[in-house]
């Protein structure tokens, strides 16, 4: 009898815990200003603030998880976390595998960063992070593509002469160009990508609807624009 | 960490370095060092146990010996990395599938929906509302299990060889004294085989130490992950400690760490070897005997 009461109590407890839905937010943590790991060792950046606000509005408890960019989609699909919020542009290829919410940034042109203003971006060697829209753009542009696992390594490749330039989101390259005298943004820009959205499993329609609504409400009351300005990510809505 | 670290821009030299090396992010690096040591501490005995069972099975008669021999042949023949990548995903899905079958009998949707592997909420491992440390412990345990399976196969082969290296005369003597097979195995064979197994096992231990960076591949944030993350160049907008590309120095630190660790292991293993050799009918044992005369 006592066992029975204990079991019922345990069941009731676990049911209560299940009520407060926990959503695990997967991010890369290496792509400032979108997401990075700050000095305290925590996930920080535009998407951290955005994600926390979205979870508050959707009344979800959120936990942050970092994952390598390479395997960020496979690990979402196999349920290691529930969302990707990692500066991921919405593309048709990705949309076949996962679902996206509406975009929370405007399409931001990608820029070239290099050591000289006249670097050859048409026929030279251009670095990009593996599995990004920039990498697939260069693969079809005629330039030679070298890929790296992390964004930081693409910058290092330009510095040590392995690549003539690196193609990445302008918001990522700008602070680097501003603070390093030897690196500069080139005038040439490429308009690729359709804005950044949150990625979710295709079977998670309910969660997607919640985040869609939360992003919509942040667009309406201007809080999203304020965040975009604060972290200097492209134009607002 | 220290009180003078409040404004790092004004610091320089050693005081800057002392603040830099004690940021929360660096603490993660030191913490991951503990992860690696813990992995070794758990994996080594687990792999030895797997190896012992594999070797015991390989020694038995035909149908049972197939298990041991197949295990050794399979794992030894497949590249570690391929095995690691496969096993961690496969084990995770296997566990979830078994729990799903047990816990959610009235689930009517398919488990594989296109690309998604979907099980009911109660079957998820760990539960999606579990806190972060549970997820980390689970990932770590999967890694330990995979390491133990892989290194267990190598250990099995070493132990199998060592069991056969014990002089036949020893076993014959045991039989002559009327010991049963089980008794002679546990009382004569096993105590004597270690001296033959140790060179192979110590080799394996070294390889295991050097294989720990594979954790990084399995998504466990180990010392390689944090070295790369901390070493990458940092811009002043996002950190109080901006610096250029310092990855080389961090990786150099890793090099030194592993070298010291393997050197320390060598010293310890040599002592164990000296102790095990004592009184054995091997060339090492003979040399020890002559030295004491």
Domains by residue range for chain B, with CATH: 3-292 (1.10.3720.10)
Report residue A213 as tokens: 């609504």
Any bridge partners for residue B234, and if so which?
Answer: B243
Domain coverage including residue A34: 22-106+195-230
In this prediction the ipTM stands at: 0.79
Global pTM?
Answer: 0.81
Interface of A with B in 5-64 (CB under 8 A): 17-18, 20-24, 29-30, 32-33, 36-42, 44-45, 61, 63
Interface of A with B in 96-115 (CB under 8 A): 97-98
pLDDT for B1:
63
- Note whether residue A13 is domain-resident: no
A173 shares its domain with A205: no
Inter-chain contact A32–B247, Cβ cutoff 8 Å? no
Give A-chain residues touching B128 at CB under 8 angstroms: 22-24, 79, 82
A87 shares its domain with A62: yes
State the average pLDDT over residues A69-83: 87
Element (H, E) at B51: helix B24-59
Inter-chain contact B245–A22, Cβ cutoff 8 Å? no
- pLDDT at residue A1 greater than cutoff 60: no
Report residue B111 as tokens: 């488990």
Angle made by CA atoms A160, A161, A165, in degrees to the nearest 5:
110
A67 shares its domain with A128: no
Report residue A178 as tokens: 């501003």
- Residue B147's nearest CA partner among B202, B84, B205, B90 is B84
pLDDT for A154:
93
- Residues A61 and B50: their CA atoms lie apart, in Å, by 41
A145 shares its domain with A179: yes
Answer for the pair B67, B57: CB distance below 8 angstroms, yes or no.
yes
Nearest to B128 among A22, A66, A67 (CB): A22
- pLDDT at residue A20 greater than cutoff 70: no
More confident residue, A46 or B130: A46
- pLDDT at residue B257 greater than cutoff 50: yes
- Note whether residue A172 is domain-resident: yes
Number of domains in chain A: 2
Answer for the pair B160, B170: CB distance below 8 angstroms, yes or no.
no
A148 shares its domain with A165: yes
Say which CATH number the domain at A211 has: 3.40.190.10
pLDDT tens by residue, A134-164: 999 999 888 999 999 999 999 999 988 999 9
Whether A150 has its CB under 8 Å from any CB of chain B: the answer is yes
Any bridge partners for residue A125, and if so which?
Answer: A144
- Mean pLDDT over all residues of chain A? 87
State the average pLDDT over residues A217-232: 92
Q: What are phi and psi of A235, to 5 degrees?
A: -75, 160
A75 shares its domain with A125: no
A53 shares its domain with A168: no
Answer for the pair A148, A186: CB distance below 8 angstroms, yes or no.
no
Inter-chain contact A41–B124, Cβ cutoff 8 Å? no
pLDDT tens by residue, A204-217: 899 999 999 999 99
Answer for the pair A167, A96: CB distance below 8 angstroms, yes or no.
no
A182 shares its domain with A129: yes
pLDDT tens by residue, B208-218: 998 888 887 77
Share of residues in chain B with pLDDT > 90 (%)? 40
Nearest to A39 among B23, B124, B233 (CB): B23
Inter-chain contact B132–A63, Cβ cutoff 8 Å? yes
User: Which residue from B minimizes the CA distance to A38?
Assistant: B239
Answer for the pair A129, A115: CB distance below 8 angstroms, yes or no.
no
Share of residues in chain A with pLDDT > 90 (%)? 55
pLDDT for A11:
47
Q: Give the confidence band of B45 by pLDDT, cuts at 50, 70, 90.
A: very high
Q: Give the confidence band of B271 by pLDDT, cuts at 50, 70, 90.
A: very high
Give A-chain residues touching B92 at CB under 8 angstroms: 78
A100 shares its domain with A116: no
A65 shares its domain with A169: no
- pLDDT at residue A176 greater than cutoff 60: yes
pLDDT for B16:
86
- Note whether residue A236 is domain-resident: no
- pLDDT at residue A18 greater than cutoff 50: no
Inter-chain contact B229–A82, Cβ cutoff 8 Å? no
Share of residues in chain A with pLDDT > 70 (%)? 92
A96 shares its domain with A200: yes
- Residues A123 and A125: their CA atoms lie apart, in Å, by 7
- pLDDT at residue A81 greater than cutoff 50: yes
- Residues A161 and A127: their CA atoms lie apart, in Å, by 11
Q: Give the confidence band of B86 by pLDDT, cuts at 50, 70, 90.
A: confident
- Residues A76 and A98: their CA atoms lie apart, in Å, by 9
Q: Give the confidence band of A13 by pLDDT, cuts at 50, 70, 90.
A: very low
A140 shares its domain with A185: yes
């Amino acid at each position: 009898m006592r066992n029975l009461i204990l079991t019922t109590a345990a069941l009731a407890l676990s049911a209560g815990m299940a009520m407060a839905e926990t959503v695990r937010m997967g991010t890369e943590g290496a792509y400032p200003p979108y997401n990075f790991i700050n000095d305290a060792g925590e996930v920080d950046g535009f998407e951290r603030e955005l994600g926390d606000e979205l979870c508050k509005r959707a009344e979800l408890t959120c936990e942050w998880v970092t994952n390598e960019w390479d395997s960020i989609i496979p690990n979402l699909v196999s349920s290691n976390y529930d969302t990707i919020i990692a500066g991921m542009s919405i593309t048709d290829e990705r949309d076949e595998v996962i679902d996206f919410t509406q975009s929370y940034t405007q399409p931001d042109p990608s820029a070239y960063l290099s050591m000289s203003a006249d670097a050859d971006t048409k026929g030279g060697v251009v670095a990009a992070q593996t599995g990004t829209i920039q990498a697939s753009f260069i693969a079809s542009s005629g330039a030679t593509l070298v890929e790296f696992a992390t964004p930081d390594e693409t910058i290092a490749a330009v510095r040590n002469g392995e690549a003539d330039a690196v193609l990445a989101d302008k918001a990522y390259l700008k602070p680097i160009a501003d603070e390093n005298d030897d690196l500069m943004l080139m005038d040439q820009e490429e308009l690729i990508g359709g804005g950044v959205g949150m990625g979710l499993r295709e079977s998670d329609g309910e969660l997607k609807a919640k985040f869609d609504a939360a992003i919509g409400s942040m667009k309406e009351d201007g809080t999203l624009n304020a965040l975009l300005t604060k972290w200097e990510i492209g134009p607002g809505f | 960490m220290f009180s003078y670290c409040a404004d790092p821009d004004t610091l320089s030299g050693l005081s800057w370095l002392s603040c830099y090396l004690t940021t929360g992010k660096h603490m993660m690096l030191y913490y991951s060092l503990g992860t690696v040591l813990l992995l070794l501490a758990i994996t080594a005995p687990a792999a030895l146990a797997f190896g012992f069972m594999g070797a015991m099975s390989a020694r038995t008669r035909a149908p049972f010996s197939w298990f041991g021999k197949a295990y050794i042949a399979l794992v030894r023949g497949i590249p570690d990395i391929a095995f690691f990548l496969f096993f961690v995903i496969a084990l995770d899905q296997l566990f979830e599938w078994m729990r799903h079958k047990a816990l959610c009998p009235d689930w009517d949707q398919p488990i594989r929906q296109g690309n998604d592997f979907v099980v009911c909420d109660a079957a998820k491992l760990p539960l999606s509302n579990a806190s972060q440390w549970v997820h980390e412990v689970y990932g770590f345990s999967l890694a330990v299990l995979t390491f133990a399976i892989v290194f267990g196969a190598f250990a099995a082969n070493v132990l199998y060889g060592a069991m056969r290296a014990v002089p036949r005369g020893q076993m014959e003597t045991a039989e002559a004294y009327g010991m049963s097979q089980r008794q002679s195995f546990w009382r004569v064979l096993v105590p004597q085989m270690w001296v033959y197994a140790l060179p192979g096992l110590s080799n394996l231990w070294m390889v295991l130490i050097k294989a720990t960076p594979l954790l990084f591949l399995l998504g466990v944030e180990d010392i390689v992950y944090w070295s790369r993350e901390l070493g990458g160049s940092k811009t002043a907008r996002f950190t109080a400690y901006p610096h250029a590309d310092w990855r080389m120095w961090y990786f150099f630190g890793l090099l030194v760490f592993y070298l010291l660790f393997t050197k320390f292991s060598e010293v310890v293993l040599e002592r164990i070897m000296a102790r095990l050799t004592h009184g054995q009918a091997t060339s090492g044992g003979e040399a020890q005997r002559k030295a004491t005369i």
